[in-house]
């Protein structure tokens, strides 16, 4: 019975994904910190925690969620270009593992706060390596005009000032599918390390997240290429040079285990475009298409002999609430169910309050999607 839209999570796929990621990591001296911003639904966090991953946070709220879901403080790292005094104080009081400091001013603020708070939390510098990667501009973070991190020059000056800085963090962007960018990143970091003063030593290196997923053919590639990613990172940073590297996968862990199930509310046959299907889900449940023009695979689960190309929109009062055009689907009509694929990452965690639309539920299911759609359209597990 369809009782309205919902996020649907395949916990079996999540478990398999975590296992593949952890195996790839363990083979090459890598520790994974799940980027909790990608999805913070509790059953998802519980699986990730029990899969042995650490965690990466970007707010006090995320640190709190990690602690409440059983992570130890010493498994938590904390980045963010605009951390507040309250957030830094909270992180220090909780004795989290490492704060990734993103500016010279933030460095001085942390030092000041440390004079009043007894803590075991270490400080690493987030480096801006000035590396352009092939992804959407809005999710690219490692070029020098971006707001993230300190420049290599600032980093050199800070480590000369303070030998207790435990190491470095970088994150150059998200949804990166071409592994050569990670090879370039590894080279840049190697060059940076080679230029460090000889009297400074560090034991912490974290190269962030960024591994992309296959949005076009999620069923074909449900599990991203973790091994290829880690090997690319290790190209110029071998275990002989740095025994442990940390990475912060978000999307690649949870992206493919989530789908969004909705229903066609109305069909419109406009003079100027292909037929338009208006759904009961849209930008309030999945911001990515409206925010980045992101394309998600959409399928319909009813039997039909004829297909047509559709434009698909959400219901919000914004023309940008659109999944895009040219979706080839079985002939659609009011009441048909549709699935938006690959919504496990940056779907529910970025949901909007806009229009006071009802918050949709999440269902956590231990079966693949296909087995949940019976032959007839309306029966969905
Ligand atoms: N570490 C840091 C410091 C980050 O800022 C991010 C993501 C990650 C790790 C995880 O990156 P991932 O493995 O998921 O690529 N809302 C956008 C993505 C924003 C990513 C922000 N930072 C989207 O829906 O595509």
Cβ atoms of 74 and 94 closer than 8 Å: no
Residues 85/69/285/15 CA torsion (nearest 10 deg): 130
Same domain, 214 and 281: no
Residue 224 in 3-state DSSP?
coil
Q: What's the CA gap between 301 and 307, in Å, rounded?
A: 13
Residues 121-177 have pLDDT tens digits of 999 999 998 878 777 777 778 788 888 899 999 999 999 999 999 999 999 999 999
Same domain, 207 and 270: no
Residue 185 in 3-state DSSP?
helix
Is the pLDDT reported for residue 381 higher than 50?
Answer: no
Which CATH number fits the domain that encloses residue 15?
A: 3.20.20.10
Tokens of 322: 């659109």
- pLDDT of 374 reads 46
Lowest mean pLDDT across 20-24, 142-146, 180-184, 219-223: 142-146
Same domain, 245 and 260: no
- pLDDT of 375 reads 38
Long-range contacts of 107-111 (CB under 8 A, 24+ apart): 107/150, 107/158, 107/162, 109/85, 111/162
Same domain, 217 and 285: no
Nearest protein Cα to ligand 1, atom 9:
209
- pLDDT of 366 reads 83
> Does the C-beta of 208 come closer than 6 Å to ligand 1?
yes
The tokens 């501009």 sit on which residue? 137
Is the pLDDT reported for residue 119 higher than 60?
Answer: yes
Measured in angstroms, how far is the CA atom of residue 208 from the centroid of ligand 1? 9
Q: How many CB atoms lie within 10 A of CB 198?
A: 5
> Does the C-beta of 171 come closer than 6 Å to ligand 1?
yes
Residues 285-330 have pLDDT tens digits of 999 999 999 999 999 977 788 999 999 999 999 999 999 999 999 9
> Does the C-beta of 251 come closer than 6 Å to ligand 1?
yes
Note whether residue 188 is domain-resident: yes
Note whether residue 313 is domain-resident: yes
Domain finish residue from 254, 283, 304: 254
Same domain, 250 and 260: no
Measured in angstroms, how far is the CA atom of residue 250 from the centroid of ligand 1? 6
pTM: 0.95
For residue 65, count CB atoms less than 10 angstroms from its CB and return exposed for 0-12, middle for 13-18, buried for 19 or more.
Answer: middle
Q: What's the CA gap between 1 and 173, in Å, rounded?
A: 40
pLDDT band at 118 (very low <50, low <70, confident <90, very high): very high
Same domain, 245 and 99: yes
Cβ atoms of 188 and 155 closer than 8 Å: no
Note whether residue 5 is domain-resident: no
> Does the C-beta of 13 come closer than 6 Å to ligand 1?
no
Total domains in the chain come to 2
Note whether residue 14 is domain-resident: yes
Note whether residue 372 is domain-resident: no
Same domain, 210 and 289: no
Measured in angstroms, how far is the CA atom of residue 294 from the centroid of ligand 1? 14
Same domain, 21 and 85: yes
- pLDDT of 378 reads 46
- pLDDT of 134 reads 74
User: By residue range, what is the domain housing residue 112?
Assistant: 10-254
Same domain, 236 and 326: no
Q: Which helix (H) or strand (E) holds 291?
A: helix 288-292
Specify the ligand 1 atom closest to the Cα of 252: 13
Measured in angstroms, how far is the CA atom of residue 81 from the centroid of ligand 1? 13
Q: What's the CA gap between 259 and 270, in Å, rounded?
A: 29
**Percent of the chain topping pLDDT 90:** 87
Cα dihedral 292, 297, 301, 307 sign:
positive
- The β-bridge partners of 306 are none
Measured in angstroms, how far is the CA atom of residue 165 from the centroid of ligand 1? 24
Which CATH number fits the domain that encloses residue 340?
A: 2.40.37.10
Same domain, 105 and 231: yes
Note whether residue 340 is domain-resident: yes
Cβ atoms of 307 and 331 closer than 8 Å: yes
Same domain, 199 and 337: no
Note whether residue 381 is domain-resident: no
> Does the C-beta of 139 come closer than 6 Å to ligand 1?
yes
Which distant-in-sequence residues (6+ apart) come within 8 Å of 3 by Cβ?
none
> Does the C-beta of 248 come closer than 6 Å to ligand 1?
yes
Residue 221 in 3-state DSSP?
coil
- pLDDT of 368 reads 59
């Amino acid at each position: 019975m369809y009782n309205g839209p919902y996020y649907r999570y395949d916990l079996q796929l999540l478990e398999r994904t975590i296992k593949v990621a952890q195996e790839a990591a363990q083979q090459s001296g890598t520790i994974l910190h799940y980027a909790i911003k990608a999805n913070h639904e509790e059953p998802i966090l519980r699986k990730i925690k029990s899969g042995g991953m650490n965690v990466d946070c970007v707010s006090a709220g995320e640190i709190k969620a990690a602690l409440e879901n059983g992570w130890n403080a010493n498994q938590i790292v904390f980045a963010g270009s605009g951390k507040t005094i309250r957030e830094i104080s909270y992180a220090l009081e909780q004795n989290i593992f490492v704060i990734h400091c993103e500016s010279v001013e933030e460095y001085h603020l942390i030092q000041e706060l440390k004079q009043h708070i007894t803590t075991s939390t270490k400080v690493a510098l987030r480096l801006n390596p000035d590396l352009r990667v092939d992804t959407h501009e809005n999710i690219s973070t490692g070029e020098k005009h971006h707001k993230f991190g300190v420049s290599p020059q600032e980093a050199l000056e800070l480590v000369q000032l303070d030998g207790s800085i435990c190491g470095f963090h970088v994150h150059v962007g998200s949804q990166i599918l071409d592994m050569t960018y990670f090879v370039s990143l590894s080279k840049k970091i190697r060059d940076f390390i080679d230029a460090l003063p000889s009297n400074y030593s560090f034991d912490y290196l974290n190269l962030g997240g960024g591994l992309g997923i296959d949005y076009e053919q999620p069923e074909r590639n449900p599990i991203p290429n973790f091994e290829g990613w880690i090997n690319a990172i290790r190209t110029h940073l071998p275990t002989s040079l740095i025994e442990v590297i940390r990475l912060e996968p978000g999307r690649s862990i949870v992206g493919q285990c989530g789908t969004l199930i909705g229903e066609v509310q109305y069909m419109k046959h406009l003079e100027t475009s292909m037929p338009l299907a208006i759904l009961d889900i849209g930008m309030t449940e999945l911001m990515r298409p409206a925010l980045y023009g992101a394309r998600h695979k959409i399928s319909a689960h009813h039997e039909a002999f004829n297909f047509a190309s559709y434009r698909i929109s959400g219901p919000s009062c914004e023309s940008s609430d659109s999944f895009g055009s040219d979706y080839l689907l079985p002939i659609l009509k009011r009441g048909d169910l549709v699935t938006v694929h690959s919504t496990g990452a940056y779907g529910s965690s970025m949901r909007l309050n806009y229009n006071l639309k009802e918050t949709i539920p999440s269902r956590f299911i231990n079966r693949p999607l296909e087995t949940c759609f019976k032959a007839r359209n309306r029966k969905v597990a």
